[in-house]
Chains A and B, each alone.
Chain A
Amino acid sequence: MSDVTLYHWEPNANSGKPMLALMEKGVKFESQYLDMLNFDQHKPDYLAVNPQGTIPAMTHGDNVLVESTAIMEYVDEAFPGPSLMPADPRDRLRIRWWMKFMDQWLGPSFSMFGWKYFVGPAARQKGEAELEAAINRIPLPERQIAWRKAVYGLFSDEEMAESGRRIGVGIKMLEAELVKRDWLASDQYSLADINGFNLAYALPLSQPHLSNDELTPNIMRWLRKIYARQAVKDCWALGRTDMVKRVEILEQDYIPPKPESEGIAKGIGDKENLAR
C-alpha cells in the first residue's frame, strides 16, 4: 500500500500536473478521483483532508500538500526517479518563470473560457437551490466569487476579450520559446513541459485558428513528443469522462488550420471543446 494519495479530477490542467509528475517519477500512489462538477471537493470527507477545498491535493504520510505546481516540485525533490528539474540554476529559473507565467497569466485566461462554456453550463443543470448550497460550502471567499461568475455566466465581454487576447499572445510566446529548444525552457524534459502539456494539449481543438501544424509547428511537435510518453498514457487512463478523448487529436500527423468557429466559440455547453 502506497503512503501517497492524490486527490484529483480529470487528467487536465491543475489536476493533471501532479498526476503526470508522479507517473514520470514512477511513484506508486492511490488515486482518489473527485468529481469537480458534483462539488465533491467541497464535501466534508475531502475538506477534512484539504480544508481549502481546492483540487488537487496530495498526502504523503502525515503531510498534506496543495497547489499543483508546488506539489510537482515536492514530488521531484521527495522521490527517487528521473529528475524533472535540470541542475543548472539558470535553467531552473527559466522553468520557474514559465510555470508562473502559465499558472498566473495564461492559464486563468484559458480557464475563463473553460468555465464560461463548460463548467458553468454543466453546473447549472443542478438547479439554483442546490447550486447555492454547494457554492456556500466553498471555504475560500475568492473561490466562491469565481464559482458564482462561472455558474451564472457573469464574465463580462471585456474580461472575455482580455482572456482571448492573452491566449493569442501566449500561444505566440510558446511557439517562439519552442523554436529555441526541444523542450520548454530547458534542454531536458522538465516540470515546465508537464505544466505546459496540461495547459496546451487541447489547443488544436479549442483554438484551431491559432494553433495547428501550419501556424505553430513547434508547439505541435512538442505536444506530440510529450503525448508519446508512456507516463502520459498511464495518466490519461485515470480519467473517467469524455474529456480524456481530447488528447487523441495528437495522434493525427497533420492538423490543418480551421476557422475559429470550429473551436471553443461554437462549443457553448459542449465539453468536447473545453480548452481547460
Chain B
Amino acid sequence: MSAILYYGEPNGASFTVLAALEESRLNIETRYLDLLSGARHRIVGLTDRVALDMGVEGEGPVLVINGEAMTESVFIAQYLDEAGAGHMQPKDAHTHWQMLMWCRRVTERAAPAAAFLGCRSNAHTKLAAISEAAFADLTAHIVSPDLKARWEALRRGDFQQAQEEDSIAKISDLAALCNTQLGDGRDWLIGDYSIADLVTYGWLAGMRGIVPDAFADRSKLAVWFARVEARPSVQRALAHAIAAHPGQHWAPGPEINRWG
C-alpha cells in the first residue's frame, strides 16, 4: 500500500491529522502543501479525486492511498488511529458517540467561524496582492464551484459584519463550552486523550491571537492548552511548521451553514 499524507501548516485541520499521525505510530510519508497557493489542487498522480474536489472541509489535509485522495481531517484522524496504535478513540460506544458529537460541534460550528476569522485576518491581504492572472491560475484546478466561490470572496474581502459577529460568537461559545467541560477537573475533553482534543486544539489555538477576548478568564481552558502542547506527539506535529507562527496561516475552510 502506498500512502502519503499531505498537510498544510500545523493549524486547523492539518494540525489534527499531523498530531493523529504522531500518536498512531504509523510510518506514512508526509508532504507539505502551501494551501494558500492552491497547491492542494495541483497534487499529481491522483487516480481518484472525488473527495479532494468535493470535500466539505475546504482547504485541508489530504491522505492519498494508492492514488485515491481522501479528505476530512476528523475521518483521516480516525483512519490513522484505526490503522495504527488505536488509542485515540473511546472503546465504549456511548463515550465514542460523545467524542463524535464533540468533533461535529467543533467542525460544523467553530471551524467555519475560525476559517472565516483567520482568513480575514491573515489570508485576504496575501490573495489581494496577487494579479488577476495569477489568481485565475491558482483557482483553475478547483472543481467545486462553492469552494471556488469562497476563494473569490476571500480575495475580494467580502466579509459581512453579521458573519464576523456570528463567527466571533461561535469561537467564544466553544471556548466557554471547553472551559465548562473541563470544570469538573478532568484532564481531557471526552474520556481519555482523544481526537476530540486534537480537533479542538487545531481550530482554537490560532484563535487566541485573533479573538483574545474569547479566551479571557477561561483558566481551565488555558491549562488544557498547555497540557495538550506538552505532549511529545503534539510537539512533533507542531515541528512540521514551515512558518514561524502556524496559527496565523489560514485558507478557505468549511462552508458557513447555508440554513443560517
Contacts and interface: CB of A to CB of B under 8 A. Distances in A.
Interface stretch (A40-48, A141-149, A187-195): A141-149
Interface stretch (B78-86, B201-209, B215-223): B78-86
A89 B82 contact: yes
Contact of B65 (A71, A90, A169, A177): A90
Interface stretch (A62-70, A197-205, A216-224, A252-260): A62-70
Interface residues on B, range: 20 to 34
Contacts of B100: 70, 73
The B interface is mostly helix, strand or loop, or mixed, namely helix
Interface in A85-143: 89-90, 92-94, 96-97, 100-101, 104-105, 108, 112, 142
A237 B121 CA distance: 54
Interface string B64-82: 0100001110011011001
Contacts of A66: 101
Nearest to B70: A93
Interface residues of A, number: 36
B210 interface: no
B93 interface: yes
B56 A165 contact: no
A15 B71 CA distance: 27
Interface string B40-70: 0000000000110011100000010100001
Interface in A26-69: 60, 63, 65-67
B79 A100 contact: no
A159 interface: yes
B259 A97 contact: no
B249 to A, nearest CB: 24
A74 B50 contact: no
Contacts of B131: none
A97 B97 contact: no
A89 B89 CA distance: 13
Q: Which of B83, B145, B146, B260 has the most CB of A within 10 A?
A: B260
B224 to A, nearest CB: 24
Interface in A65-84: 65-67, 70-71, 73-74, 77-78
A69 B138 CA distance: 36
Interface string B132-156: 0000000000000110000000000
28 contacts: A65-B97, A67-B104, A70-B97, A71-B97, A73-B96, A73-B97, A73-B100, A74-B94, A74-B96, A74-B97, A77-B93, A78-B94, A89-B78, A90-B70, A92-B78, A92-B79, A94-B51, A96-B72, A96-B78, A100-B72, A101-B54, A101-B55, A104-B56, A108-B258, A142-B257, A142-B259, A142-B260, A159-B258
Given A78-B94, A105-B56, 19 more contacts: A70-B104, A73-B97, A73-B100, A74-B94, A74-B96, A90-B65, A93-B76, A93-B78, A94-B51, A96-B78, A97-B55, A97-B71, A97-B72, A101-B55, A105-B54, A142-B260, A145-B260, A149-B259, A169-B54
